[in-house]
Amino acid sequence: MVTVEDFHSDDPIAWCPGCGNFSILKALKKALVDLQQKPHKLVIVSGIGQAPKTPHYLQSNCFNGLHGRTLPVATGIKLANHKLTVLAQGGDGDGYGEGGNHFLHAMRRNIDITYLVHNNQVYGLTKGQASPTSDLGFVTKTTPRGAISPACNPLLLAIASDCSFVARGFAGEIDHLAGLIIEGIRHKGFSLIDILQPCVSFNRVNTFKWYTERVYKIDADSQYDAGDRLKAFQKAQQWGDKIPIGIFYRNQRPNLEEQIPAIADQPLVAQQTDPDSFSELLETFK
Amino acid sequence: MDISIRIGGEAGQGIQSISSIIARTFVRHDFYVFINQDFASRIRGGHNFDQVRISNVPVQAVDDKVHILIALDKETTRRDIDCMAENGILLFDEDAIDFTSESPNHFSIPFGKIASEVGKSKIMINSVATGAAIALMDFDLQPVLNGLQEQFQQKGSEIIENNQKCAIAGYDFIRKNLKEKSLFRAPSAKSVRQKMLLTGSQALALGAMASGLKFYSGYPMSPSTAIMEFVSSRADQYNIVLEQAEDEIAAINMVIGAGFAGARAMTATSGGGFCLMAESLSLAGMTETPAVIVVAQRPGPSTGLPTRTEQADLNFVMHAGHGEFPRAILAPGHPAQAVHLMSKAFNLADKYQTPVIVLGDQHFNDTFFTVDELDLESITIDRGYILTDQDLPSPREYKRYSPGESGISPRILPGLTKAVLYADSDEHTEEGHITERATIRNQMMRQRMQKLERLRQEIGPPEIYPAGEAELVLLGWGSTHGVIKEAVDRLNQNGMVAQMMHYSELFPFNPRNIGIAELRKAKIIAVENNYTGQFADFFSKATGLSVHQRILKYDGRPFTAREIVDQIEDKNKENNNGYRGRLSQR
């Protein structure tokens, strides 16, 4: 029986008081307990930023690598041992800016990784510059006259890339977010969970209050069909007075690892190479 | 016997099908064959050539003289005639090429007409040319006919037969019209099929696979791509996962991920792609994750000469990545060494939990070498210090970066024990958590950098040929192995006392590997395919020895032995026989 105590970490937390990351960490632990996920069978890969510190704050295998390079590392881990549960974690700058190319290709591959993007629409660790998801007109140290390029919409990108699980959560809705993480981990393919996360230090516009007044749950509408890609495109374009959260889109296309013959029986890490098996290959050069 | 055949033409004319059939024929008859491929960065057209050198003694370099030149395009008659040996023979087709010559050694043979009439297809000029070349060497045609059968197996009996007829017609044409010119009587030999013909890339891939390669990720870039293609062609048979990455940054990070999880993993690229990997090289150093990276060099800067050769990335791979961390750099000079060094690269990467770079270059990677055997069975696999559940009575106490008994931290593989590990690119505590404390920083820096000193003890000595003392020491590394050896033989035949000192294990440099005192008495001549003599500088700094002459080439082409010998002899004359020292007066 896995309990929340099994995920306890002694590493002191370095986030600002009141940070949205605390709620996300809580939701993540709740999801892992609900899934009865054993910590030693879990790997969390993260990049650089405030969000990527998360794996230090719970008991699990952690690879805290470079800014933007989370997904390729996670892909390598999953292909080497696909029996592991692999989560990737980063912020909006990390995932949609520096790591944008990897994001597109991880979705295309449909590798079975759950990707949590703590999206606070601002660069926190570098202390307050515009991010790829900053709203048009958002004033920061690098956009003193307001952002002049519109925000990138990661959900639209994901649906266009036929990402097989596309969801958005909100740090202020812990139980709902935990539910999305559970669904994402259960889903056998690439799962994007974009998480609206208020930054109490550098984003005075998109605050807890601002989001709480706007977010609504998609699944409250029993008519919404997450299998309908066109509907998902429409839903993902909604932003402003009303902001939808929940599962926007999902499909059941085959994932990367189930299509690779080399790992059909066992993961790579369990396989040995027989040095005597090369004589036939050497003959082909004669 | 030492014959070189050059086949020149446009990309797409089938140059390689001629060279590969000729090469395979002779390798199967126990000859040594060496094929240099010279091609431009384009899919069709341009001017390209393959040069096939056939000898009854081992050859591992390009000869400067061509005995049979086959011109499939006009450009060959323009550019390549200067390379011909005195009694060399040019074959061309006057119907196809606007070229006339008074020379009795320049022969027109109707490649196109024969191909159209006999083979019913103009494409088959290469089979006609193959037959003609074999006739000029006075060699048996049957093995070539067998070779054609093998080559076109999948294309059906009609294509096979027509190609064979073309080869016979080309052969007969030469026998009938040029019998007296069949100057090169290749000694007849029986088919034994013992030797192997393979490229440097194939040897690197084989070495990796036999060393337990399980994961490969790469992004196509000349001249490294052949490694990925070879691994890919056998991935299902040897249970290897190969993922083509979206860019080189993804490739190296996937390799780091797979290495972290416990699979032997590698990538290969060229200088430009390695630039993109530099930040992640440092990541592997900091997180102490094994990674093997092949850098097949090509001339830079920037895109440079994409399909040609250079050894100008040594300084770069030695210093790439921010901060200080241990690494090893290896550079094979021939296929057997490539196999051995790939195995060593994986073992060092696992044992020292750090990146290892294997340097190739276009000349090494694309060249076909003949080897008597490749010993894959004696490869040993050392996965280094990895704990299992039995070593971990209390899993919660495990610390990824604790100093360990031997100064190397204990790894666990995620999911394979009850413990968990934290790996971090930030400076970290023994537990792997982020820290900025000065004392821990100092401890961790020392812990990582001490591995460099241990790695240094693993680095093997240079190859010395021939043994003994010498007055001239030709210093080289990587792909120049064969050509330096040949130059040394020629210098010794010319009355000098010359020796090769070839490095294939470059970094960390171990000066104890060589006799510094003896070398102080010799003249050291560096031979490198770059502008500055990067290894010469490094060697001088590490040993305190001075390099007396630098023979450098940076036109994108490999050295020939003659170029090296000429430069040494010129310098010798300049110096008033300055190289004739105490040994040659004995």
Which residue from A11, A65, A273 is facing B253, i.e. has the nearest CB?
Answer: A65
Task: Identify from A45, A268, A283 which residue to disrupt to test chain B contact, counting B C-beta atoms within 10 A and taking the largest count.
Answer: A268
The ipTM (two decimal places) reads 0.98
> Residue B586 has what pLDDT?
38
Q: How many CA atoms lie within 13 Å of A253's alpha carbon, on the beta-carbon side? A: 16
Say how far apart CA A170 and CA A197 lie, in whole Å.
6
Cross-chain Cβ contact B416/A269 below 8 Å: yes
Residues B36 and B121 in one domain: yes
Residues B127 and B163 in one domain: yes
How many C-beta neighbours within 10 Å does residue A252 have? 11
Cross-chain Cβ contact A271/B414 below 8 Å: no
> Residue B181 has what pLDDT?
67
| B384: in domain | no
B582 pLDDT higher than 80 = no
Residue A93 per-residue DSSP state = I
Task: Identify from A15, A273, A277, A279 which residue to disrupt to test chain B contact, counting B C-beta atoms within 10 A and taking the largest count.
Answer: A273
* Residue in A closest to B231 by C-alpha: A281
pLDDT tier at B180, thresholds 50, 70, 90: confident
B183 pLDDT higher than 80 = no
Cross-chain Cβ contact B253/A69 below 8 Å: yes
Helix (H) or strand (E) holding B291: strand B291-297
pLDDT tier at B185, thresholds 50, 70, 90: low
Cross-chain Cβ contact B258/A77 below 8 Å: yes
Which residue from A53, A66, A271 is facing B214, i.e. has the nearest CB?
Answer: A271
Residues B20 and B99 in one domain: yes
pLDDT tier at B585, thresholds 50, 70, 90: very low
Q: Which of B199, B204, B197 minimizes the C-alpha distance to B295?
A: B204
Cross-chain Cβ contact B240/A286 below 8 Å: no
The separation between the first and the last C-alpha atoms of chain B, rounded to the nearest angstrom, is 33
For A146-174, the pLDDT digits (tens) are 999 999 999 999 999 999 999 999 999 99
Residue A12 per-residue DSSP state = P
Residue B546 per-residue DSSP state = P
Residues B437 and B484 in one domain: no
Residues B230 and B249 in one domain: yes
| Domain carrying residue B468 | 463-574
| Chain B residues within an 8 Å CB radius of A80 | 214-215, 241, 257-263, 265
* Residue in B closest to A14 by C-alpha: B434
Say how far apart CA A11 and CA B424 lie, in whole Å.
13
| B586: in domain | no
What integer best gives the mean pLDDT of chain B?
Answer: 94
Say how far apart CA A140 and CA A148 lie, in whole Å.
12
* Residue in B closest to A260 by C-alpha: B241
Say how far apart CA B5 and CA A285 lie, in whole Å.
21
Q: Per the structure block, which two tokens stand in for B277?
A: 């990997």
How many structural domains are present in chain A? Answer: 1
| B381: in domain | no
> Residue B192 has what pLDDT?
83
Residue B402 per-residue DSSP state = -
pTM of the predicted protein model: 0.96
| B380: in domain | no
**How remote is the C-alpha of B116 from its chain's centroid?**
39
| Domain carrying residue A105 | 4-283
Q: Which of B242, B321, B246 minimizes the C-alpha distance to B277?
A: B321
Q: How many CA atoms lie within 13 Å of B521's alpha carbon, on the beta-carbon side? A: 12
The CATH number that applies at residue B304 is 3.40.50.970
The CATH number that applies at residue B76 is 3.40.920.10
Query: DSSP alpha helices (H): ranges in B90-156?
Result: 111-119, 125-136, 142-151
Residues B19 and B122 in one domain: yes
Residues B142 and B228 in one domain: no
Say how far apart CA B188 and CA B56 lie, in whole Å.
11
How many structural domains are present in chain B? Answer: 4
Helix (H, G, I), strand (E, B) or coil at B204: helix
Residues B515 and B490 in one domain: yes
B79 pLDDT higher than 60 = yes
| Chain B residues within an 8 Å CB radius of A261 | 236
Say how far apart CA B270 and CA B268 lie, in whole Å.
7
Which is it for strands B196-199 and B215-218: parallel, antiparallel or unpaired?
unpaired
Cross-chain Cβ contact B417/A285 below 8 Å: no
* Residue in B closest to A258 by C-alpha: B241
| B584: in domain | no
Residue B547 per-residue DSSP state = P
Cross-chain Cβ contact B425/A269 below 8 Å: no
Say how far apart CA B518 and CA B499 lie, in whole Å.
13
Q: Which of B472, B475, B513 minimizes the C-alpha distance to B491?
A: B472
In angstroms, the separation between the Cα of residue B422 and the nearest Cα of chain A is 5
Task: Identify from A32, A41, A269 which residue to disrupt to test chain B contact, counting B C-beta atoms within 10 A and taking the largest count.
Answer: A269
Scanning the structure block, which residue is given the tokens 């490869």?
A: B379
pLDDT tier at B368, thresholds 50, 70, 90: very high
Cross-chain Cβ contact B241/A11 below 8 Å: no
| Chain B residues within an 8 Å CB radius of A39 | 420
| B189: in domain | no
Helix (H) or strand (E) holding A248: strand A243-250
The CATH number that applies at residue A193 is 3.40.50.970
Say how far apart CA B121 and CA B119 lie, in whole Å.
5
The CATH number that applies at residue B496 is 3.40.50.920
Which residue from A64, A78, A101 is facing B246, i.e. has the nearest CB?
Answer: A101
Which residue from B27, B395, B423 is facing A64, i.e. has the nearest CB?
Answer: B423
B583 pLDDT higher than 60 = no
**What single letter denotes the amino acid at residue A272?**
Q
Say how far apart CA B255 and CA B503 lie, in whole Å.
27
3-state secondary structure B61-88: CECCCEEEEEECCHHHHHHCHHHEEEEE
**Distant-in-sequence, close-in-space partners of B212: CB < 8 Å, separation ≥ 6:** A272, A273, B264, B346, B381
Residues B289 and B217 in one domain: yes
Q: What is the DSSP string of B488-534?
A: HHHHHHTT--EEEEEESEEES--GGGS-HHHHHHSEEEEEESSSS-H
How many C-beta neighbours within 10 Å does residue A197 have? 29
Ranked by mean pLDDT, which of B11-20, B134-143, B278-287 comes out on top?
A: B278-287
Residues B334 and B242 in one domain: yes
Residues B306 and B394 in one domain: no
Residues B452 and B474 in one domain: no
| Chain A residues within an 8 Å CB radius of B256 | 65, 73, 76
Domain ends where: B151, B181, B211? B181
Instruction: Give the mean pLDDT of B399-407.
Output: 90
